Amino acid sequence: TNNHVIEGADEITVIMYDQSEFSAELIGRDPKADIAVLKINHDGKILKSVNWGDSDKARVGDWTIAIGNPLGLGGTVTAGIVSAIARDIGGGPYVKFIQTDASINIGNSGGPLFNIEGEIIGINTAIISQTGGSIGLGFAIPSNNAKKIVSQLIEFGKTRRGWLGVEITNVSQDIAESLGLQNTKGAFVSGVNQSGPSKEAGIQEGDVILRFNDVEVKKMLDLPRIVAD
């Protein structure tokens, strides 16, 4: 589920599709990615899980199906399409969202976003709305991001992320021209942590990081995400 769904809770109860209820314990949570992992005390009841899908294969226009508990109406199913992929909505530096126009309202958070094969390609997390209701702008954490975080939460109880120890900013047109760059791609290093790994590696203020781990840094916001992975 999402971290914001269970944050601050003293007790957590999971209600199944047949209205059976189970207590759950918190295994770990990651506020920065808004993901939490719960363990259900299932009392011997056989539970069947659904399967993760490959969110990298999602294309704009693909059908999506969302299931959740909007406004307390549990088991609500809505359908739509993938409206955009890798969307930045200011929800933290570590996640790019899948955007869908399947109706998502308050209470859908933590529910699955399926592809047409019934595989989870996202965790419904946020909406953008001036009214508080669905206007077709829903956002889900991609399954490939979620799987990595979930596995770490299960194993360690927290998320372990890589870090560089740099302060970065966008490569402006002026910076690009002054450095003789062909475009504004990359992350401009505006500061270096004196005790961080970047200092030891020789990174200096004024450098521009264009690739990390052989992944292109197209814009400044890409770098924290790539490093964290």
Sign of CA dihedral 159, 108, 75, 85: negative
Given a contact cutoff of 8 angstroms between Cβ atoms, the answer to whether 24 and 41 are in contact is yes
Can 103 be counted among the known catalytic residues?
Answer: no
Nearest-5° Cα angle at 181, 179 to 183? 135
Distance of CA 109 to the CA centre of its chain: 12
**Of these residues, 30, 34, 101, 207, which one is catalytic?**
34
CA-based nearest residue to 125, from 31, 34, 211? 34
Can 4 be counted among the known catalytic residues?
Answer: yes
CB atoms within 10 A of CB 150: 21
**Of these residues, 55, 83, 109, 198, which one is catalytic?**
109
Can 109 be counted among the known catalytic residues?
Answer: yes
The catalytic residues are 4, 34, 109
